[in-house]
Structure 1
């Protein structure tokens, strides 16, 4: 019995050891401030995805043209370009907790306005686009502020794990949200989706309220004008590896993010009814589903120090997966390729985010994260414009496959032209 018991104990220890190396690293949750920030994301990520589905669907229903869905990319991109950069500068001179409170409240308010427009039956495309632009303005300031706060509340060696935790929760919401949206759209209509988003964002305001104060540290700038933004770009100019990380993300997202074509694909290729259905939900959920599954099994990511290699391989796999999606002849095959791409994108995101957090000093971190927000959130909006117009001109599936080819070619070229990025290793302390 003693021998059998010893073997059983050893087996359990072996399994725990294996799981500890594979399953998501939860050590950042030991820090209360990060835990509050992370917990708020669980609630808000589902609601945010409701709006992400509702806005393009509403635009497509009003016009029947994917080009108008792509136009939303411009209305989202301009606020991101302007207020993402300026918001990062503001995050370096004020208490980041207070700035998060203001911007989260703005996000909730715009969601309520979108709900009122949808519930009243107002058929104005331009009103929806303007409200979407206001929402993206708040988002553009919120994201660099939130990201810049993370490095203040956990140690640097845990940054990859914290990025994986945050992304995994976001991706979970991105899976559940679109699937629920696909079910609720034909039953309850668009207005309910906006209302749920507003309620979830209100909960996030309370979670941010419970964060500790995060005032600027000694040496931080005192103004957030154009000069402060330019200083951020000058700082980046001295770090070519960080510039290369931005380039890789631009390549992946601008050429390879086909979400503007999802409403058209769902209805014309995969057989959804005009009012929306399950196929649309699956298309929006597929990428975050792959990212979530990979995130749960991301415990090994923090052990790899060659972050440049991780980003490059992730972008290449993403491009190949998008090619497969463009050529897929069934919904489930298309969902599979998108899920593979989502897993690859998570790897790229974790390493890119960790590189930015580790390389920047605190007084520059808000501005660097502002540029990061512009690149990460602005790239897909440029993709909306390109894919929307491309889909209207040559067809949705041909546009998607061509974009995937461009991702692979351009990523390989960037890796060859910037060898320092490929050789980059993360700091160990």
Structure 2
């Protein structure tokens, strides 16, 4: 590990949340199951429990908004425009929110932003029950919601390192990521089941109620003020630029972002799922194939999280990221080469497991390699990369699929991920050397 990539030890959790005493290591099958040690820490358990509720609730709104826009316009293009309307404010406010999270009490920032998201969900419900049927209003509300999300996410993610000891960061990230991926599977399924029963407007209301649970959990967190040095700073363009300079000066942080960009931009083939379902996997039924393709990666990620005990105690975090991204590329290449639907779904599920491992250790690197006064800004950049990479992949894969065919584009992207990741690891040793 480069000498510049030091782990911050100034913010270790309060007494009672340190490493487990000798003799409490898990034995037998429990060594392979999900590592739940962070849940023994009351503050982290409260933060995590709020995520359990909102992971599904937020997906209800994520389904309701495009459904309502399509019902009004009968146009998929407008659904795409709405996605862009949400992306731009999320990117801007995630970067700014990272700087804010480094200068204020993160608990207070989470309270304000979660309240804003809850109010936005109520406004979504109001416009739906009053049958306003205005795409412009929906897009404005979506932009407002994503702006609050951009402000909230860096503070929430950066707070984890203040609540759990460094050696439990991979386990904490695995718990949070598993819940998020479970929401991606269960949320849309629940939305599809609830719309015929309670109606689309009530999905927004359920999300707003779920956010009240989040507010209660965050309210019970301990104060998370900045260090004395950071308290005197303001959150402006200079501080945002300072965050990017910090990344460029800490090679392992830069490489962790590049690893995710390589994996998502060149290896996320979701834009080609509809064409593959209609052409390659049509004999199994287009609807069934499409649903399985979209669900396979999140299901694999959840499975990986449930068995996070197999990797959460690893110390060579850099090698775990390299191996996970390479495995992701190999699985995507295998998916592209598969003509059988069930084999293809199996490859995507394996890719989901690899994605979970990558998320866990990239998150741990960001929290451990950055000092506390920079963690908010690192998480802001992380939010932008995670949200922006798959959208760039949609454009790239859609174009490549039209030019070379969907299967060739997917397989080629997977191979490219492996080549680029292994090449990057060989050329720059910082990631290979990083460990805790």
How does the TM-score come out when normalised to structure 1?
A: 0.84
Report the counterpart of residue 342 of structure 1 in structure 2.
352
After superposition, the Cα gap between the structure-2 partners of 1:32 and 1:116, relative to the gap in structure 1 and judged at 3 Å, is: same
After superposition, the Cα gap between the structure-2 partners of 1:122 and 1:415, relative to the gap in structure 1 and judged at 3 Å, is: farther
1:79-128 Cα deviation digits (max 9, x unpaired): 23211111011011111111101111222233333344555566555544
1:132-163 Cα deviation digits (max 9, x unpaired): 22222111111110011111112111111111
Report the counterpart of residue 299 of structure 2 in structure 1.
289
Does the residue aligned with 2:238 lie in a helix, a strand or coil?
A: helix
Range that drifts further, 255-264 or 197-206: 255-264
- Which is helix-richer, 1 or 2? 1
Residue 139 (structure 1) aligned to one of 143, 149, 153: 149
* 1:253 CA drift (Å): 1.5
Report the counterpart of residue 231 of structure 1 in structure 2.
242
What pairs with 1:284-363 in structure 2 (closer than 5 Å)?
Answer: 284-329=294-339, 332-363=342-373
Alpha-carbon distance in structure 1 between the residues aligned to 2:332 and 2:126: 36
- For the 8 Å contact 1:107–1:135, the answer to whether it is kept is yes
Residue 109 (structure 2) aligned to one of 55, 77, 99: 99
Alpha-carbon distance in structure 1 between the residues aligned to 2:45 and 2:137: 37
After superposition, the Cα gap between the structure-2 partners of 1:236 and 1:83, relative to the gap in structure 1 and judged at 3 Å, is: same
Report the counterpart of residue 164 of structure 2 in structure 1.
154
Residue 257 (structure 1) aligned to one of 268, 283, 287: 268
Alpha-carbon distance in structure 2 between the residues aligned to 1:40 and 1:205: 8
- For the 8 Å contact 1:148–1:365, the answer to whether it is kept is yes
Report the counterpart of residue 388 of structure 2 in structure 1.
378
Report the counterpart of residue 376 of structure 2 in structure 1.
366
Structure 2 residues not aligned, in runs of 5+: 1-22
Does the residue aligned with 2:256 lie in a helix, a strand or coil?
A: helix
- For the 8 Å contact 2:167–2:313, the answer to whether it is kept is no
- For the 8 Å contact 2:170–2:313, the answer to whether it is kept is no
Range that drifts further, 105-114 or 208-217: 105-114
Residue 18 (structure 1) aligned to one of 15, 28, 36: 28
Does the residue aligned with 2:50 lie in a helix, a strand or coil?
A: helix
Report the counterpart of residue 3 of structure 1 in structure 2.
none
Alpha-carbon distance in structure 1 between the residues aligned to 2:58 and 2:291: 14
1:208-263 Cα deviation digits (max 9, x unpaired): 12212111122114200111112212221221111011001011122223445556
1:24-68 Cα deviation digits (max 9, x unpaired): 111111211101001111111111222334445555666677665
How does the TM-score come out when normalised to structure 2?
A: 0.82
- For the 8 Å contact 1:77–1:382, the answer to whether it is kept is no
- For the 8 Å contact 1:73–1:385, the answer to whether it is kept is no
Alpha-carbon distance in structure 2 between the residues aligned to 1:403 and 1:367: 30
After superposition, the Cα gap between the structure-2 partners of 1:200 and 1:76, relative to the gap in structure 1 and judged at 3 Å, is: same
* 1:70 CA drift (Å): 4.6
After superposition, the Cα gap between the structure-2 partners of 1:368 and 1:285, relative to the gap in structure 1 and judged at 3 Å, is: same
Does the residue aligned with 2:308 lie in a helix, a strand or coil?
A: coil
What pairs with 1:409-424 in structure 2 (closer than 5 Å)?
Answer: 409-424=419-434
- For the 8 Å contact 2:113–2:151, the answer to whether it is kept is yes
Aligned residues: 410
- For the 8 Å contact 2:59–2:183, the answer to whether it is kept is yes
User: Residue 247 in 1 paired to residue 258 in 2?
Assistant: yes
* 1:292 CA drift (Å): 1.2
- For the 8 Å contact 1:85–1:370, the answer to whether it is kept is yes
CA RMSD of aligned residues (A): 3.3
- For the 8 Å contact 2:304–2:353, the answer to whether it is kept is yes
